[in-house]
């Protein structure tokens, strides 16, 4: 069986508010802009993206579980679930796909409770604080891993 050339892009709670939510922290790009950045970065390397955003943890878990069937890897911005969700971490670990964790803001420069990520230990790629362009970086680094082009 050949490896699918598709990535699952997961955006967690409140990311549907991008463009209007705290633009001083997150900028003015919308969720549609984020999805386009990721899709364009993947397309440059011959991959496609299936995007999901939800404010409901179970919807995200179901999408992650389904990715086992037709995705090669997962790019995820878990939003606030980064700091609270063991079950999200376990879903990512359980599907056995390479994971790229991305955050628009520099979570280490923000409130103390944002410094811990339950996703960090299951992600092979971490892109933090690069704004929306960080999604392109995360996609590229994940594809490098998937295609054996990663350094180190």
Order of strands across the sheet that contains 125-128? 48-53, 6-11, 73-77, 99-103, 125-128
140-to-73, 76, 133 alpha-carbon distances in Å: 12, 13, 11
pLDDT at 146 over 70: yes
pLDDT at 109 over 70: no
User: Tens of pLDDT along 11-31?
Assistant: 999 999 999 887 777 778 999
CATH at 115: 3.40.50.9100
When pLDDT is cut at 50, 70 and 90, the band that residue 111 belongs to is low
103 has catalytic annotation: yes
Mean pLDDT score of the chain = 92
When pLDDT is cut at 50, 70 and 90, the band that residue 108 belongs to is confident
pLDDT at 89 over 80: yes
pLDDT at 115 over 90: no
Annotated binding site for substrate: 77, 83, 90, 104-105, 114
Say if 152 falls within a structural domain. Answer: no
pLDDT at 114: 62
pLDDT at 25: 74
Buried b (16+ CB within 10 A) or exposed e, 68-91: eeebbbbbbbbbebbbebeebbeb
What's the domain range around 97?
6-146
- Identify the active-site residue in 103, 116, 126, 135: 103
Per the model's pLDDT, the better-predicted residue between 117 and 136 turns out to be 136
Residue 80: strand, helix, or coil: helix
Say if 1 falls within a structural domain. Answer: no
Say if 68 falls within a structural domain. Answer: yes
pTM beyond cutoff 0.85: yes
The count of structural domains within the chain is: 1
Say if 134 falls within a structural domain. Answer: yes
Say if 28 falls within a structural domain. Answer: yes
Say if 23 falls within a structural domain. Answer: yes
pLDDT at 107 over 80: no
């Amino acid at each position: 069986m050949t490896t699918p050339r598709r990535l699952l892009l997961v955006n967690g709670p409140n990311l549907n508010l991008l463009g209007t939510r705290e633009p001083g922290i997150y900028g003015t790009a919308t969720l549609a802009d984020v999805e386009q950045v990721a899709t364009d970065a993947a397309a440059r390397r011959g991959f496609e993206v299936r995007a999901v955003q939800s404010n409901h943890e179970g919807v995200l878990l179901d999408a992650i579980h389904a990715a086992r069937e037709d995705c090669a890897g997962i790019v995820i911005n878990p939003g606030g679930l980064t700091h609270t969700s063991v079950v999200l971490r376990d879903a990512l670990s359980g599907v056995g796909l390479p994971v790229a964790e991305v955050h628009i803001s520099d979570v280490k420069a923000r409130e103390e409770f944002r410094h811990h990520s339950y996703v960090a230990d299951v992600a092979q790629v971490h892109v933090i604080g690069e704004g929306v362009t960080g999604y392109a970086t995360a996609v590229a680094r994940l594809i490098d891993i998937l295609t054996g082009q990663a350094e180190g």
